């Protein structure tokens, strides 16, 4: 090097060093404490009812607590890459942990982009910024972004590294550690304690200038290896209602003690007033050991439980003790914030995605309005213990602006919109009720992805196997299952044996429940026939469905389905299914767009007209487009029982199917809808059992023994259901067929039926036509040998509009996202933890509305005079809706009324008193 050039370089070095010294004069020490996998609720100050964290609690109380702080990502490596770089994951290419190909290739619908495992060489980390400004920098614990002199902490701005490399978790929390960057201590030494010792030593040795200590604990990441004494303490302690894991509690207790030692060491050094302490987690807690309740989700998910974190800042003399910030912030903000704390003016040499929080910390200014975004173009495996299937999450993105948060799933385009101000648990998807907000947020999210060149996976995976085949079918199955859906008409929740009925025999329905699953919270589409069936066929709830009542056309109940509607039968036909419907239709007459053959059914037999279905000995039925006269019923004779004809047609449909041809058979029986008609051989089983008051007949046919007739009708239907399941078994199709039985609404009050005598609702309030539970909660049982665990019960809340996405997924298709229903296949298969939940369910009928959200149920009714009564019930405590809590819980009532307004789309055919926005 020429002397002049050499002198110039030396002068430049001197100037830089002098500038660094100038920046460092009076600069504070900064201690950044990161706890791995610590959930938002895993601290005493965050509401844990079992874990003990007195030291972290006092740290939180001594500074500012951020109540809406977010991780940069929902899993370790990308969150840390963004923290150290100050850049969103798409800028660094670090999206997930390790290879994006981890997990079952055949269960990935999409091919995913490359994932980087180290920070790009041109990224300047916050540690590098601080070191250039004269800080001594030390890293203690988990790095997870590569190892060695280039990619490890020593190559990314740290003077000292203890234990940080590519590892995401320790081989052991006790020495020997098996960590190349951490010399072993005495046998049995605990890792959390050891890292704290080294960090304290580092801080004590830096007396002259400022230091930056990144205390990045491996804890409380798995493996769960607690200290024995702490474990014994928590085993002896009464479990909380929220947190219950003693080993995990002990791990947190060890971290808390370590944080206490750090704080004490800072105080003892005499530099407390010159030392900033920042405490945070890298993302949500692991769902197998803790819960973030009421937040939804956990580590690895873009729901709040996976992203929201505890964040506290203690800055003596600058931040008020006990202060709080309710503004949404993100880990990315710490890069510019720490720089500002150190007095560093950041150059424009690389992107910065966070904002400086010091004005908010010092109360000298407000934070600007902005959006927070997340991007995950990969798949993240789920631990087997979570019981949710293969993935914690699939490729997705999310955005939060104000109180609204939108999540988009790239596999199927599904979007979910939540108002976090009123729904922190993300239970109510508002995409359908607030489409403008959803579209606005989605457009902003797309624009953000384009601006930072975030890759969105779109290429189908050629090795993908449909979830039902991957998760549910055995090697012997080479095609999707047959689907047999049997629907009773006006059968109450308590009118079959497996739901507590003692007077009426239903052995075949009970056998389905015993061989499979019984649902305790399944809801019909509506409280009367036609609108309930419309929800079933279309996947839409009553606020969006076309048919919303048993009127609206010249023939009652015959408002036809329009051409534009896509039914579940049409969707299954497109997936290669042969489709058949035998029974009561009620969604369009012979010369309308609602004819079953025009709505996806290859073969149709039964009643089109609901009036005609009031007789079980009708003069005619329909086979496809042909009117079939029943000579045995001419002139009022009772020679041909329609239910027997329907069953015979269904059996023939099954017999005619090839073994390699999947089929969908929909059997909507008319039983036990009145009139009370039943063949004498079936009536004989019950005749004379009970005292009877003859029903003289009014609108429906009379009967001398109405109780016996009603019971006989139900048992007659049960017998025919047994014939269907027996034929499936005889043909060797039972293992390849899912059979479902349910009812279209609650039990009737008319035609001689005696719901009180039979305890038809099992105590639920209301009957057919009512939006109380008795009118809409229905029995639902399903069997699928070898796939559905036998003898199981599910309390998953589901409804008729879930059938379309469920059946499409069973058929190997992608569950449609434009509908109100969600696939309940995981719940059917006994995988409740994998099951997506409804935020809210909605019904309307005439002058009434109902909404269920979680345990809460709203029923409101408007009389002819226009007076409206709103009732609120907590179904967890009051299944029978006996205690109106509207006055006691006005805040819940307001939320439910808002949902009732938002979930209804006005209908010209079916006007509502609530169209005025009340």
What element of type H or E holds 92?
A: helix 89-92
Lowest-confidence segment of 23-32, 53-62, 408-417, 596-605 by average pLDDT: 23-32
Which residues lie across from 32 on neighbouring strands?
A: 214, 278
Q: Is 135 exposed, middle or buried (0-12, 13-18, 19+ CB in 10 A)?
A: buried
Q: Which pLDDT band holds residue 610 (cuts at 50, 70, 90)?
A: confident
Q: Are residues 447 and 576 in the same domain?
A: no
CATH code, domain with 146? 3.40.720.10
Q: What is the pLDDT of residues 76-109, one digit of tens each?
A: 999 999 999 999 999 999 999 987 776 677 788 8
**Given this model, what pLDDT does residue 257 score?**
98
User: Residues 424, 506: one domain?
Assistant: no
Among 835, 868, 902, where does a domain finish?
835
Same domain, 630 and 609: yes
According to the model, what pLDDT value does residue 918 have?
A: 76
Do 286 and 375 sit in the same domain of this protein? yes
Q: Are 773 and 720 in the same domain?
A: yes
- Give me the mean pLDDT over the 849-878 stretch: 95
Residue 456 lies in a domain: no
* Whether the predicted pLDDT of 792 surpasses 50: yes
Does a structural domain hold residue 464?
Answer: no
Is the model's pLDDT at 481 over the cut of 70?
A: yes
pLDDT one-digit tens code per residue, 751-781: 999 999 999 999 999 999 999 999 999 999 9
Span 686-708, average pLDDT:
95
Q: What is the tens place of the pLDDT at every residue in 884-894?
A: 999 999 999 99
Question: Is there a single domain that holds both residue 722 and residue 859?
Answer: no
| Co-location of 140 and 272 in the same domain | yes
Tell me if 476 is assigned to some domain. no
Q: Would residue 699 count as lying in a domain?
A: yes
> 679 is written with which tokens?
């063949």
How high is the pLDDT of residue 384? 59
Average confidence (pLDDT) over 169-180: 94
Q: In terms of domains, do 416 and 336 share one? A: yes
Q: What pLDDT sits at residue 5?
A: 32
Dist CA 666 CA 603 (whole Å) = 10
Of the candidates 802, 835, 868, which is a domain's last residue?
A: 835
Reported as a single tens digit per residue, the pLDDT across 567-578 is 999 999 999 999
Q: What is the pLDDT of residues 299-335, one digit of tens each?
A: 999 999 999 999 999 999 999 999 999 999 999 999 9
Helix (H, G, I), strand (E, B) or coil at 375: strand
Q: Compute the distance between CA of residue 541 and CA of residue 546 in angstroms, rounded to an integer.
A: 10
CATH of the domain at 918: 3.30.1120.10
Report whether pLDDT(440) > 70: yes
pLDDT at position 636 is 84
Whether residue 209 is contained in a domain is answered as yes
Return the H-helix or E-strand segment holding 20.
helix 3-24
Residue 880 confidence (pLDDT) above 90: yes
Residues of the chain with pLDDT > 70, as a percent, come to 94
Torsion of CA 222, 228, 233, 236, to 10 degrees: 90
Per the model's pLDDT, the better-predicted residue between 812 and 341 turns out to be 341
**Distance from C-alpha of 352 to C-alpha of 331, rounded to nearest angstrom:** 12
Query: Residue 1 has what pLDDT?
Result: 32
Q: Could you tell me if 577 and 726 lie in one domain?
A: yes
When pLDDT is cut at 50, 70 and 90, the band that residue 192 belongs to is very high
Q: Is the CB of residue 191 less than 8 Å from the CB of residue 9?
A: no
Number of independent structural domains in the chain: 3
Please say if the pLDDT value at position 429 is more than 80. yes
Q: 431, 451, 471 — which closes off a domain?
A: 451
Indicate whether 750 pLDDT > 70. yes
Same domain, 854 and 796: no
- With respect to residue 457, please indicate whether it lies within any of the assigned structural domains: no
On whether both 141 and 212 belong to a single domain, the answer is: yes
Q: Tens digit of pLDDT for each residue in 711-730?
A: 999 999 999 999 999 999 99
* pLDDT value for 387: 57
C-alpha to C-alpha distance for 405 and 665, rounded to whole angstroms:
40
Q: What is the pLDDT of residues 797-811, one digit of tens each?
A: 999 999 999 999 999
Pair 125, 342: CB distance under 8 Å: no
The pLDDT value given to residue 386: 60
Give domain status of residue 393, yes or no: yes
As given in the structure block, the two tokens for residue 796 are 């998953």
pLDDT of residue 20: 37
**Confidence class of residue 836 from pLDDT cuts 50, 70 and 90?**
confident
Range of the domain at 784: 488-835
Mean residue pLDDT across the chain: 92
Reply yes or no on whether the pLDDT at 839 is more than 90: no
pLDDT average, residue stretch 146-163: 96
Taking residues 415-436, what's their average pLDDT?
A: 92
Judge whether residue 517 has pLDDT over 60: yes
* Pair 708, 644 in one domain: yes
Domain membership flag for residue 465:
no
- Return the structure tokens found at 719: 């017998």
pTM for this entry: 0.60
């Amino acid at each position: 090097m020429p002397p002049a050039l050499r002198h110039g370089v030396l002068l430049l070095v001197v100037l830089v060093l002098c500038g660094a010294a100038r920046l460092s004069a009076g600069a504070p020490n900064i201690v950044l404490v990161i706890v791995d996998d610590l959930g938002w609720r895993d601290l005493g100050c965050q509401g844990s009812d079992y874990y003990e964290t007195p030291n972290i609690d006092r740290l939180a109380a001594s500074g500012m607590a951020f109540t809406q702080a977010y991780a940069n990502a929902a899993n370790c490596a990308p969150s840390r890459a963004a923290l150290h770089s100050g850049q969103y994951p798409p800028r660094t290419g670090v999206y997930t942990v390790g290879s994006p190909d981890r997990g079952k290739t055949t269960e990935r619908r999409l091919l995913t982009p490359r994932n980087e495992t180290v920070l790009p060489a041109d990224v300047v980390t916050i540690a590098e910024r601080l070191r250039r400004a004269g800080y001594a920098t030390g890293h203690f614990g988990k790095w997870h972004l590569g190892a060695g002199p280039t990619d490890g902490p020593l190559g990314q701005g740290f003077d000292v590294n203890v234990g940080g490399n590519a590892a995401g978790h320790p081989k052991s929390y006790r020495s020997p550690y098996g960590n190349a960057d951490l010399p072993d201590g005495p046998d049995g030494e605990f890792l959390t304690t050891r890292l704290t010792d080294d960090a304290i030593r580092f801080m004590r040795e830096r007396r002259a200038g400022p230091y930056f200590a990144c205390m990045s604990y491996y804890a409380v990441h798995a493996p769960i290896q607690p200290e024995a004494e702490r474990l014994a303490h928590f085993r002896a302690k009464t479990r909380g209602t929220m947190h219950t894991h003693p080993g995990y509690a002990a791990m947190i207790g060890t971290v808390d003690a370590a944080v206490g030692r750090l704080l004490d060491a800072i105080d003892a050094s005499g530099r407390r007033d010159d030392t900033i302490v920042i405490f945070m987690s890298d993302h949500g807690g692991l769902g197998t050991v803790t819960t973030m309740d009421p937040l939804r989700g956990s580590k690895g998910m873009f729901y709040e439980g996976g992203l929201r974190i505890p964040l506290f800042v203690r800055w003596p003399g600058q931040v008020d003790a006990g202060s709080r910030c309710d503004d949404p912030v993100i880990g990315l903000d710490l890069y510019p914030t720490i720089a500002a704390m150190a007095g560093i003016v950041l150059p424009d040499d690389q992107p910065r995605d966070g904002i400086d929080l010091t004005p908010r910390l010092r109360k000298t200014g407000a934070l600007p309005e902005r959006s927070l975004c997340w991007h995950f173009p990969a798949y993240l495996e789920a631990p087997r213990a979570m019981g949710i299937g293969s993935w914690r999450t699939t490729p997705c993105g999310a955005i939060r602006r104000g109180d609204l948060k939108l999540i988009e799933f790239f596999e199927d385009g599904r979007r979910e919109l939540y108002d976090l101000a009123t729904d922190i648990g993300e239970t109510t998807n508002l995409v359908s009720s607030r489409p403008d907000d959803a579209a606005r947020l989605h457009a902003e999210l797309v624009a953000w992805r384009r601006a930072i060149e975030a890759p969105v996976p779109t290429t189908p995976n050629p090795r993908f196997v449909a979830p039902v085949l991957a998760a549910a079918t055995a090697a012997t199955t080479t095609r999707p299952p047959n689907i047999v859906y049997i629907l009773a008409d006006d059968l109450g929740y308590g009118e079959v044996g497996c739901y507590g009925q003692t007077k009426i025999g239903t052995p075949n329905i009970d056998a389905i429940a015993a061989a499979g699953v019984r649902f305790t919270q399944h809801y019909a589409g509506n409280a009367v026939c036609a609108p309930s069936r419309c929800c079933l066929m279309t996947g839409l709830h009553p606020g969006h469905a076309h048919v919303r009542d048993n009127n609206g056309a010249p023939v009652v109940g015959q408002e036809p389905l329009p051409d534009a509607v896509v039914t579940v039968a049409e969707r299954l036909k497109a997936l290669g299914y042969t489709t058949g419907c035998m029974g009561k239709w009620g969604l369009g007459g012979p010369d309308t767009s609602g004819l079953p053959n025009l709505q996806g059914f290859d073969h149709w037999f039964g009643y089109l007209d609901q009036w005609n279905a009031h007789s079980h000995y009708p003069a005619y039925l329909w086979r496809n487009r042909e009117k079939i006269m029943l000579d045995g019923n001419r002139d009022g004779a009772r020679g041909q029982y329609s239910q027997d004809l329907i069953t015979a047609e269904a059996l023939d449909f099954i017999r005619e199917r090839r073994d390699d041809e999947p089929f969908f058979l929909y059997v909507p029986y008319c039983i036990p809808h009145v009139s009370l008609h039943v063949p004498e051989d079936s009536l004989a089983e019950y005749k004379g059992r009970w005292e009877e008051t003859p029903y003289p007949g009014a609108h429906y046919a009379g009967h001398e023994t109405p109780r016996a007739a009603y019971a006989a009708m139900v048992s007659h239907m049960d017998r025919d259901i047994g014939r269907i399941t027996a034929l499936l078994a005889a043909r060797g199709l039972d293992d390849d067929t899912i059979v479902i039985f349910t009812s279209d609404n609650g039990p009737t009050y008319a035609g001689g039926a005696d719901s009180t005598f039979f305890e038809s609702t099992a105590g639920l309030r209301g009957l057919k036509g009512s939006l109380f539970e008795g009118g809409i909660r229905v029995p639902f049982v399903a069997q699928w040998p070898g796939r559905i665990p036998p003898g199981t019960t599910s309390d998953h809340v589901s409804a008729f509009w879930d059938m379309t996405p469920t059946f499409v997924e069973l058929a190997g298709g992608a569950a449609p996202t434009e509908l109100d229903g969600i696939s309940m296949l995981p719940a059917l298969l006994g995988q409740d933890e994998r099951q997506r939940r409804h935020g809210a369910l909605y019904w309307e009928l005439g002058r009434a509305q109902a909404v269920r959200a979680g345990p809460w149920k709203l029923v409101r009714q408007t009389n002819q005079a226009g007076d409206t009564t709103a009732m609120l019930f907590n179904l967890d405590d009051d299944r029978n809706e006996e205690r109106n809590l509207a006055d006691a819980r006005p805040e819940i009532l307001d939320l439910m009324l808002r949902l009732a307004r938002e979930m209804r789309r006005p209908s010209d055919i079916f006007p509502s008193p609530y169209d005025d926005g009340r």
